[in-house]
Amino acid sequence: MRKMVKQNSKLFIVASAAIVLVVIVWVVLGSHRNITQPISYNHKIHIEEAELTCVDCHLYVETMPTATIPNIEICQDCHSDEPMSDSPEEVKLLKYIEEGEKIPWQRIYAVPNHVYFSHRRHVTIGEIACSNCHGNVEELTEPPSYPLWLPTMENCISCHKEHKVTYDCLACHR
């Protein structure tokens, strides 16, 4: 009898642990659906072979709060009529350029609109490397499909504490 009780309770513990785990996994994985971009952009090739830097395309990284994702206006500076490679992705891009249609990039990094986050503040004034939050993007051959680093308040504050910069609410909340 006692054994049975014990087994029962064991079962209960296991079951509840499993449920908790499932919930956690569901929240963690479910929270970022894998995002596929319309064009599988190759950061690595642009940085290593075209010798571009981040600022060349993410124009406002050093001067504005929002870095912006480059679109055809910037792409077409290099990719005009002739394809440079035999990549099918470039063909897609050229089609967008030809039709004058914006590439519907999906944003994967963004802060909620009640947060004031400034790239200028972090990149230019704070001199934080892009890779701190965006990871080793120059090594990526295709765009990341979910954010490397979630802009949660915990993450922001822990980093701010680490760097001994203000974590006053009004510094970010607006």
Partner 1 sequence: MEIKRRDFLKLLSGASGAVALGTYGCSDIIDVPEKLIELAQKGPGIVTWTNTICGQCSAGCGIKIRRIDGIPVYIKGNPTYPVNRGGMCPSGHSSLEVLFNPDRVKEPLKRIGLKESGKWDSISWNDALQLIADKMIELRNVGKPHQVAFLDGSDQPGLMNKHIAQFMKAYGSPNYYQSGQLKNNTAPYRLLQGINQLPSYDLLNSKYILSFGSNFLEEGYSPIYYTKIYSHLRDSSEHGRTRIVQIDSRISLTAANADLWIPIRPGTYGALALGIAFVLIREKLFDDNFIKNYSFGFNDWTDNKGITHLGFRSNVISNYYPEQVSKITGVPAETILKIARDLGNSRSSVVLGDQGTVDNTNGTFSQMAVHSLNALLGNFGKDGGVYFVDLPPLADLPPFDEDEIAALGNSKKPVAQSLDTNYPLADFSIDSFTKNILNDDPYPIDILFLYKGNPLFKTLNHHDFAETLKKIPLVVSFDPFITETSEYADIILPDHTFLEKWDKFCNTPTVGFTHVGIQQPVIEPLFSTRNAADVIIELSNKIDQSVANALPFQSYENEIRFSVEKLYNSGEGAIISEGVKSSWLEYLQQRGWQIGRYNSFDEFWKLLTRNGGWWNPIRQTKDYKELFKTPSGKFEFYSQNFANIINKLIETTGGESPENREKVLHSLNISVRGDKVFLPHYEAVPIEENMPLYFITFKLLTNRDGQSSNQPMMQEMFGYTVREYWNSWVEINPETAQEYGIEDKKDVWIESPIGSIKVRARLNPGIMKEVVAVPFGLGHTSYGRYAKGYGTNPITILKNKYDMINGNPALQATKVKISLAT
Partner 2 sequence: MPKWAMVIDLDKCTGCGDCMAACKLENNVAIVSPEQTEEGRVMFWMDMMSVYDGEYPHVKVKRIPKPCFHCDNPPCIKVCPVHATYINPEGLVGQIYHRCIGCRYCMAACPYTAKVFNWYEPEWAEEFKTCLNPDVSLRMKGVVEKCSFCAHRLQVVKEDADAEDREIMDGEYMPACSESCPADAIYFGDLENRESKVFKLSRSPRAFKELEGLGTEPKVIYLSKRE
Partner 3 sequence: MNSTENTSRDKIIFTAQLASISLIWIFVIAIAIWILNLISVSVDLNDAPGISIAISLVAIPVFFTLASILTYVFVGFHKNSKSDLNNTLGD
Q: Which residues bind partner 1 (CB under 8 A)?
A: 24, 27-28, 31-33, 59-60, 64-68, 106-108, 110-113, 135, 139-141, 144-155, 157
CA 141/CA 45 separation, integer angstroms: 7
Q: Which is nearer to partner 1, 39 or 108 (CB)?
A: 108
Residues within window 54-113 making contact with partner 2, judged by CB under 8 A: 112-113
Please report whether residue 116 would count as binding partner 2 according to CB under 8 A.
yes
**Paired tokens of 17:** 């642990």
Which partner from the list partner 2, partner 3, partner 1, none does 5 bind, CB cut-off 5 to 8 Å by kind? partner 3
Which partner from the list partner 2, partner 1, partner 3, none does 107 bind, CB cut-off 5 to 8 Å by kind? partner 1
CA 51/CA 7 separation, integer angstroms: 64
CA 38/CA 89 separation, integer angstroms: 9
CA 87/CA 95 separation, integer angstroms: 13
